[in-house]
Copies of this chain bind each other. A is one copy, B any other.
Amino acid sequence: MRGAVIHAPGDVRFEPLDDPRILQSTDAIIRTAVTCVCGSDLWPYRGLDTVDEAHPMGHEYVGFVEEVGSEVTALRPGQFVVGSFATSDNTCANCRNGFQSNCLNREFMSTCQAEYVRIPNAQGTLVATDEVPGEEFWPGLLAVSDVMGTGWWAADAAEVEPGSTAVVVGDGAVGLCAVIAAKERGTERIIAMSRHESRQNLAREFGATDIVTERGEEGVARIKDLTEGIGADAVLECVGTAQAMRQALHSARPGGNVGFVGVPHEVRIDGQELFFSHVGLRGGPAPVRRYLPDLLDRVLTGRIDPGKVFDLTLPLDQVAEGYRAMDERRAIKALLEP
């Protein structure tokens, strides 16, 4: 089969790879229906994470079960399945607490921009749809496996409640999905921070009521103007930089919450500043598995369409162009079709 391999920053190639095979009795092999490029894939692509040696890429997928290990009794070949970038047995203490992305047997997916993928912990990770959904649903279901699940988690971690005011920091695919999540959870006012017109438009379509284009302390001042001078109830930090985290912490009201879902890079939080702010903080890799049944239902009933974050569709063999387009911000998110 063929798949994407990163050789160095800026150098992603689509090349022949060994077919994945069942390594453990809890594995499954899936044939990729659609996959995509993630904002977090840009960290190594931009050289902000090191690339010590060439390795496959990709952690988002929906597909068809091709083969299952002997312990995978609840799945059968031919089923259409949705998973998560973090695999989970869905039975350990952390899974039972709803933190499947911290499963004691967790493996992070990293080979999904390919024609076939091995899924560890398949039974606990994959959710099969009742029937094979129409192709028009595939982008939305693919989004659920990562960016929509992560946006939902941002809202959950920020304890978004009906009637509250939420700020979304970051206008990438996760930020835009976080707007969907805030809207679905009954937020009254959703302030999206964005400087890009196409992203502002999508944010508004997803439910944003206000757009703030300013950044840094100016951005914070605009948020305060919109929130009785005290800040927002909930802030969904969907970037991961020190600047974005500072923006988020300063935009939340005393007693409000920041949910942070972008992997933090060079972020240090001053304990005394956090203390006097009274702001609650929770982040982490999204426990997508917890939300899968609910989010699949929302997509398949047409209630939400997070697939709209894909504004570029390419054949999988043009994966390198997907990286380039996202790196240059020509695309929000690139869908890849095998």
Contact = CB atoms under 8 A, between A and B. Distances in A.
Interface of A: 93-94, 97-99, 101-102, 104, 157, 228-230, 242, 245, 253-255, 257, 260, 263-272, 274-285
A279 B157 CA distance: 10
A249 to B, nearest CB: 11
B284 A282 contact: no
B267 A268 contact: no
A279 B278 contact: no
A271 B272 contact: no
Contact of A278 (B99, B230, B277, B280): B99
Given A271-B268, A272-B265, A255 B285 contact: no
19 contacts: A93-B228, A93-B253, A94-B230, A94-B255, A97-B255, A99-B254, A102-B254, A102-B255, A242-B271, A260-B271, A264-B271, A267-B272, A268-B268, A269-B274, A271-B283, A274-B281, A276-B284, A278-B283, A278-B285
A282 B278 contact: yes
A275 B283 contact: yes
A150 B18 CA distance: 59
Contacts of A260: 271, 275
A228 B104 CA distance: 12
Given A93-B228, A229-B93, A98 B272 contact: no
B283 A282 contact: no
A269 B275 CA distance: 12
A269 to B, nearest CB: 4
A295 B272 CA distance: 27
Contacts of A285: 275-276, 278
Contacts of A242: 271
A333 to B, nearest CB: 22
Contacts of A253: 93-94, 97
A230 B93 contact: yes
Contacts of A98: 255
B282 A281 contact: yes
B255 A271 contact: no
B102 A278 contact: yes
A160 to B, nearest CB: 14
A228 B96 CA distance: 12
Q: What 3 A-B pairs have minimum CB-CB distances, sorted nearest first?
A: A267-B271, A264-B271, A102-B254
Contacts of A257: 282
A101 B271 CA distance: 17
Nearest to A273: B264
Contacts of A279: 282
B269 A264 contact: no
A266 B271 CA distance: 7
